[in-house]
Amino acid sequence: MNWRATARAAALSPISLWIGFVVVHFWLGMLNLYGRGLPLGDVTIVYKFWMDQAYVAHYWVGIDSPWVYPVGALVPLAIARSLGNSLLASTWLSMVMVLNAVAFAAILGWGRVRGNLSVAWWWLMFLVLLGPIALGRLDSVTVPIAIVGVLFIATRPRLATLILTIGVWIKVWPAALIAAMIVAVKSRWHIAWTAVGASAAVIAIALALGSGLNVFSFVTQQTGRGLQIEAPVTTPWLWRAMSGARDTYIYYDTTILTYQVKGSGVAEVSEIMTPLLGLVLLAIVLLGVLAVRSRAPVGDVLPVLSLSLVTAFIAFNKVGSPQYISWLAVPVILGLATSLAGDGSSFRSPAIMVAVLALLTQAIYPYYYDDLLHLNVVLLIVLSAKNLLLFALLGWAVVRLWQVSRWRFDPETLPGGQPQQVIWPFAPGVQKQPGPQE
């Protein structure tokens, strides 16, 4: 009996995958509930406080006051609070598990095909490596939403846009995926108007509830923040504080509810980070436009452009919360699925780098976060390595995008000497064939 073939067949069985899904979520759930470092603290303390204000005092953040998150984030918070405070933690974890199950089913082709089984295993591995933070933040809601969204791009781009726009109004980051779609997919105007229309509907509902300009407050709340300690730009000040510089130290911002750094030059750098992030994102978008104008296939452009934008959104952000690493799973899943379908380049290297980033993140948060706050040298080395790897990932993505932008069709190799347009077939069940791009 060929034990290797038997083991491989068992591992690639949908039943094994769903068993793995349940085991992984049970493990992460236990870590969140009983693990060291209060990993579910944002849910059971901060989110609970906001919902207590809403249900007891009838004071809704984002509606009655400015808020750091888009107003749509109130929906998952309200769902978690719907069964009462005593069940808040378990309700939250159950909600995230259900959303992840939907995303998992999307990766597996809704049970109709078996093409993305290895991609599903990669995501389970990523969740384990990332640890409890994978389930314990608002990002845990937007990641499965974004996964479902990107897996609909090839077949139903408008539905994909609608799903991703819902994610944007919970946490902003899926906007990077929509931007990549607008650049790379031929039906870009339909995508843009779908995003605008869905956003207008959310804004109209918020205004009807009396939000006024608070519906846009998440923009100003973010731009006014200082340098969070995990952000890559903050790393030099952490080393400076560790070396004993008296003018540099970590403090807790009671307004934003996060740890930031003060020191010489911090205020000036904080001021320029938001426009710098905008310029970097613009440069990547222009490189994506160049790739599209060179008539590179959408399967080559979109995954790499998505990874570039999402990674830059983290690398040049003055907020470096550990859960941000969870975002990277979405463009990697998109790239792996596209590659498995025979369209687009290999995504093995970024998949490995993102997995290592997840492991380095869990090595710091939540178990040893207090040691980082006390400037433990080992934790500073781990954090520095993580931030350097983040830029290495961005470098891989940008270089690959540049290579794609240099791509050209060779008319002499195509029937009739005319450029051939290729459908982008990464979605499960879609067969590669000549035809118009979506």
Q: How far apart are CA 72 and CA 78, in angstroms?
A: 10
**pLDDT one-digit tens code per residue, 291-319:** 999 888 889 999 999 999 999 999 999 98
* Model pLDDT, residue 9: 63
Q: Is the pLDDT at 417 greater than 90, yes or no?
A: no
Residue numbers of the domain that contains 58 = 12-407
State the pLDDT confidence band at 256, using cuts at 50, 70 and 90.
confident
State the pLDDT confidence band at 346, using cuts at 50, 70 and 90.
confident
State the pLDDT confidence band at 215, using cuts at 50, 70 and 90.
very high
Domain for residue 438, yes or no? no
Q: What is the DSSP letter of 367?
A: T
Express the helix, strand and coil content of the chain in percent, nearest 5 each.
70, 5, 30
- Residues 248-259 have a mean pLDDT of 87
State the pLDDT confidence band at 219, using cuts at 50, 70 and 90.
confident
Burial (0-12, 13-18, 19+ Cβ within 10 Å), 95: middle
**pLDDT one-digit tens code per residue, 130-173:** 999 999 999 999 999 999 999 999 889 999 999 999 999 999 99
Q: How far apart are CA 228 and CA 235, in angstroms?
A: 10
Domain for residue 1, yes or no? no
Backbone φ, ψ for residue 261 (5° rounding): -125, 145
CA 101 and chain centroid, separation:
17
- Cβ atoms of residues 315 and 390 within 8 Å: yes
Domain for residue 199, yes or no? yes
CA 309 and chain centroid, separation:
10
Q: Is the pLDDT at 381 greater than 80, yes or no?
A: yes
State the pLDDT confidence band at 253, using cuts at 50, 70 and 90.
confident
Question: Taking the CA of residue 3 as centre, how many other CA atoms within 13 Å lie in the half-sphere pointing to its CB?
Answer: 0
Query: Which distant-in-sequence residues (6+ apart) come within 8 Å of 148 by Cβ?
Result: 102, 103, 106, 163
Q: What percent of the chain has pLDDT over 90?
A: 76
State the pLDDT confidence band at 410, using cuts at 50, 70 and 90.
very low
More confident residue, 118 or 222: 118
Q: Is the pLDDT at 7 greater than 90, yes or no?
A: no
State the pLDDT confidence band at 342, using cuts at 50, 70 and 90.
confident
- Residues 352-366 have a mean pLDDT of 97
* Model pLDDT, residue 113: 60
Q: How far apart are CA 131 and CA 362, in angstroms?
A: 6
Domain for residue 418, yes or no? no
Q: How far apart are CA 426 and CA 109, in angstroms?
A: 11
* Model pLDDT, residue 435: 33
What angle (nearest 5°) sits at the alpha carbon of residue 389, between those of residues 283 and 382? 140
Question: Which of 89-93, 240-244, 429-433 comes out lowest in average pLDDT?
Answer: 429-433
State the pLDDT confidence band at 413, using cuts at 50, 70 and 90.
very low
**pLDDT one-digit tens code per residue, 63-85:** 999 999 999 999 999 999 999 99
Q: Is the pLDDT at 236 greater than 60, yes or no?
A: yes
DSSP per residue, 298-365? HHHHHHHHHHHHHHHHHHT-S---GGGGGGGHHHHHHHHHHHHTT-S---HHHHHHHHHHHHHHHHHT
CA 421 and chain centroid, separation:
30
Q: How far apart are CA 75 and CA 350, in angstroms?
A: 33
Average pLDDT, the chain: 88
pTM: 0.90
Domain for residue 89, yes or no? yes
Domain for residue 281, yes or no? yes
Question: Which of 109-113, 335-339, 361-365 comes out lowest in average pLDDT?
Answer: 109-113
* Model pLDDT, residue 5: 62
State the pLDDT confidence band at 3, using cuts at 50, 70 and 90.
low
* Model pLDDT, residue 407: 62
Count of domains forming the chain: 1
Q: Where are the beta strands (DSSP E) in 44-156?
A: none
Domain for residue 71, yes or no? yes
Q: Is the pLDDT at 47 greater than 90, yes or no?
A: yes
Query: Which distant-in-sequence residues (6+ apart) come within 8 Å of 396 by Cβ?
Result: 349, 350, 353
Q: Cβ of 57: how many Cβ atoms within 10 Å? A: 9
- Cβ atoms of residues 330 and 310 within 8 Å: yes
Place of tokens 């006051």: 65
Domain for residue 412, yes or no? no
Q: How far apart are CA 202 and CA 213, in angstroms?
A: 13
CA 281 and chain centroid, separation:
15
Q: Cβ of 344: how many Cβ atoms within 10 Å? A: 25
Q: Identify the CA nearest to 67 among candidates 50, 88, 49.
A: 50
Query: Which distant-in-sequence residues (6+ apart) come within 8 Å of 9 by Cβ?
Result: none
